[in-house]
Structure 1
Amino acid sequence: MTSHVQAYRASLLHFSNDPAFDEHATQWHGDGLLIVADGKIVAAGDYSKLSASLPADCELHDYRGKIITPGFIDTHVHYPQTDIIGSPAPGLLPWLNTYTFPAERRFESGEHASEVADFFLAELLRNGTTTAAVYCTVHPQSVDAFFTRSSELNLRMVAGKCLMDRNAPDFLRDTAESGARETEELIHRWHNKGRQHYAITVRFAPTSTPAQLKLAGELATQYRDTYIQTHVAENTDEVKWVKELFPDSRSYLDVYDQYGLMRERALYAHCIWLDDADRARMAATQSVATVCPTSNLFLGSGLFDFANADKLRMPVSLATDVGGGTSFSMLQTMNELYKVGRMAGTHLAAQRMFYMATLGGARALQLEGTIGNFAAGCDADFIVLDPKATPLLARRSATTDSLEEQLFALAILADDRAIAATYSAGACVHTR
């Protein structure tokens, strides 16, 4: 039985490393060819060098004038908050109590959870996101609904049930014991089943007792290839609250460290109000900061400090944080990321922002070699970007004179309209 080979002709963009630290990291083929078989990348390179290797019956998709890049990877997003995106509040804690917790109560219903999961996944794909690290609610049925829908689409997703046994409404609390038991059952049911991965999900330190954090850390030690996801140092009121709840911890981040929750595959959203000791600890444990610029600006939380993160080589990735974040689009998220960097005194090159949204996300998830670039054997998760998707973008693209300028125009001016097509494991799952 022969493999069914598909080929895609377009400009190709992917990365072998972080371009902020490696001048040879960007891989660009102006007239490129991507060859796919059985849902995997076979080869990527110049059309002139690869076209002769195509079998006679190969189907060639002509996307000339467009750019093919690996699918975007969103390392922090809440699917139960889809319906409250764009809700007004004076800050994080009032926003949680007024909008988030009541919305999450509805996920007691598996039927509701499935309906939202369908919309959420369609929205990701419409925006070119093929992998995400997703928060469900405290309800195990919210996890089952999400993974069921993701599996049906054959998407590579990371998700988990929130652990929260205090400082939340009664209708959203588990207990330390029930939360750990349900998490372990969900790990056995979903982790590494097809393209699904489980994340031990501590909502944030204030909503977990020391007993719950201890059990979460024990699960993280027992199941070392699972993910860990939580929030840290998002805004000053929250940091102050954590200090009151955990007076013996050196810092907010140290709360998690004391319970064994810092390691590879640990994703820490926000990381705004850290000090250099925290950043060094993130780097030493390879715990990843998932930077959420639209959310941080919308909730007035603060500006991520790229200069000090880079100084200590703290791992970073990019995330939308819907529904505190205001867009599913990783392109629009790059737009806000750039502004956050500028306000904090850093100029972020477009190539680095695209790296963060692709290979940087794969590295955050310890999935380099599986997703994130076009190395042979990687999953064929990729998107087709249209630099002429809108009249303004087309006009600006026509006057760009370098790859950096073209990518910068996409990062600043583009949105979901620039996603001409999205492919997951070689199958087209969205077309505009």
Structure 2
Amino acid sequence: MRYWDEHIECMERSTLQEIQFKRLVETVKRVYTSVPYYRKKMQERGIIPEDIKSLDDLKKLPFTTKQDLRDNYPYGLFAVPLSEIVRIHASSGTTGKPTVVGYTKHDIGIWSEVMARTLVAAGADKHSFVQIAYGYGLFTGGLGVHYGAERIGASVIPISSGNTRRQIQLMVDFGTTVLACTPSYALYLAETMEEMEIDKSQLKLKSGVFGAEPWSENMRKEIESKLNIKAYDIYGLSEIIGPGVSFECEYQCGMHINEDHFLPEIINPETGEVLGEGEYGELVFTTITKEGLPLIRYRTRDITALHYDRCKCGRTLVRMEKVIGRTDDMIIIRGVNVFPSQIESVLLEMGEVEPHYQLIVDRINNLDVLEVLVEVSERMFSDEVKKLEQLEKKITKAIEETLGISVKVRLVEPKTIERSEGKAKRVIDKRKI
């Protein structure tokens, strides 16, 4: 079994809950004392820190949203003097003000610790060569994995994102054994390898840690086949710590949440009601060890479910299922909730198309229309028109059976859908809503 800290990762739940409660109480007192925004929100609810007498009392506390961070831009939610902040990160790719995250030296230590657990669970050790193709800079991805790799004593190749052909050449030359990037970029690397006529047998890759965007089991199989590796899902978000919030073990039956640092809940996104084990809803986190930016009941917008039974790997850390989508990238088409990952699964099961697609949503004559652009392989594209028409009908039927609504499928030439070296842009919504 692969553990970084077996004592914590396999701790009895009753002992873990004692630690969680103690840390929760300390965190609530700290934000009440040090963050005027939280003090005001708690006072509005008639709550004081002494009201938190058990973990069940977590539900009494107010939620925090991304908008709250933007409203308090840049440092309004920090709980320590700025002189104690040693690192500042910020979200990218959003409209309006970014969400700003501050770390103390203690927070950086936590980040290193949870990423060490993540990488070791994926088979990394001090003999590994970890190539980090997540972006460095204000985005937390690159540096987060970097800290964890250094913590376990691995050799770090901090190449960042982009320069795809150079990435592959260095992968061969440096003997990379662990790849860290987004899953869509992993597929792009595999595609570019084929163009460069580099066979996967030339690589020493053993595993990959992929996150920052939702991906399906079928996409996992595609990556594993094309790169000859075991692909591990990891999860994180800047507001909570960055990558390392949760991770898969070798059994890949959910991602273990580092819940000695991050206390999870699942809520009904409409009502805020806390849901039970195994029920799908919005994932909410309370940070219970962070100093710089402690967050109370932060709404992630990610849809998943939690399982508390002991994993086959021996870990007792709660497992979250693969994120099936977000409440804010979920598309509602004629009253039906649609997640891009559902369509991705259908396409990858076909085996006759490339794993590159795009969803275009429009409103025509007051009716929502969903068009799915799908790349065909070079082999299929060179086939006769009749075969392409049959494939188009086959894909359309499969998607409609999965979603329960009508869609328009359009096959496009190989390499016509824009590739991404970061998060893939899966949805273009042209509706004026």
TM-score, normalised to structure 2, is 0.31
More relative contact order in 1 or in 2 (CA 8 Å, sep 6+)? 1
